[in-house]
Amino acid sequence: MNIFVLMKRTFDTEEKISVANGKINEDSAEFIINPYDEYAIEEAIQVRDEHGGEVTVLTVGSEESEKELRTALAMGADKAVLINTEDDLDEADEFSTAKIVAEYLKDKEVDLILAGNVAIDGGSGQVGPRVAELLGINYVTTITGLEIDGTSVTITRDVEGDSETIETSLPLLVTAQQGLNDPRYPSLPGIMKAKRKPLEGLELDDLDLDEDDVEAKTETVEIFLPAEKEAGRILEGDLADQVSELVTLLNKEAKVI
């Protein structure tokens, strides 16, 4: 089975992020594999181990993404591909990424593609479905369960606090939701093996794409941090006095009643 995983290098949102001149200061930022993509990588490895085949992790970005690709290889993926757009694209959006990925995959024998449900830096959740549309294959988003029997696939899908069961078939693209699995940590032997696993580097020219073919359809106007929240107020006294004061505050200060 030929399994591909779409991976993104993202900011670690648990670390402090600074913004200067409308851009995120990358010098002080920590980067990681997008957490939802870790579920996709883990699921791909489990599917390969059960059904056989090969797992290829694919990313679009700069050469710095090689570190995260090596981590995916250390987890157990077989191969990695980095499509470097650093010298070709000043700005890229979901359209750009999906177009590049689909162009790479269009001539491949694809059975299963896994991606994260969303990227924690943008949160649009568009790249996976866009790739599936461009390739003309089935896709199901926000999955929490995956069972494959030949070319038949049974999927459990998260739907706002509930779940639904979907039956479909390969070739297929799915996006991984939290709860699909527990991603493994790279082991020391896995890290050593990752250094010898193939990591292919490509550019737009290798895909017969021009900059105009993948020009972003959207523009980032401004990036800014959320406003700092004011400290809360603790009401004291008898319950009746607290309720009275709360109503007054909601009326005169918050102006919500």
Answer yes or no: is pLDDT of 12 > 80: yes
Answer yes or no: is pLDDT of 145 > 80: yes
Burial class (CB in 10 A: 0-12, 13-18, 19+), 61: buried
Tell me the per-residue pLDDT of 73-90, one tens digit each, with 9 for 90 and over.
999 999 999 999 988 888
Tell me the per-residue pLDDT of 238-252, one tens digit each, with 9 for 90 and over.
999 889 999 988 888
Q: Does residue 19 contact residue 26 with C-beta atoms inside 8 Å?
A: no
Q: Does residue 211 contact residue 89 with C-beta atoms inside 8 Å?
A: yes
Distance from C-alpha of 114 to C-alpha of 141, rounded to nearest angstrom: 10
pLDDT for res 167: 97
Answer yes or no: is pLDDT of 254 > 80: no
How many other C-beta atoms can be found within 10 angstroms of the C-beta atom of residue 209?
19
Strands 19-20 and 152-159, by their bridges, are: unpaired
Answer yes or no: is pLDDT of 30 > 90: no
| Portions of the chain given CATH number 3.40.50.620 | 2-214
The predicted model gives 90-106 an average pLDDT of: 94
Q: 2-214 architecture in CATH?
A: 3-Layer(aba) Sandwich (3.40)
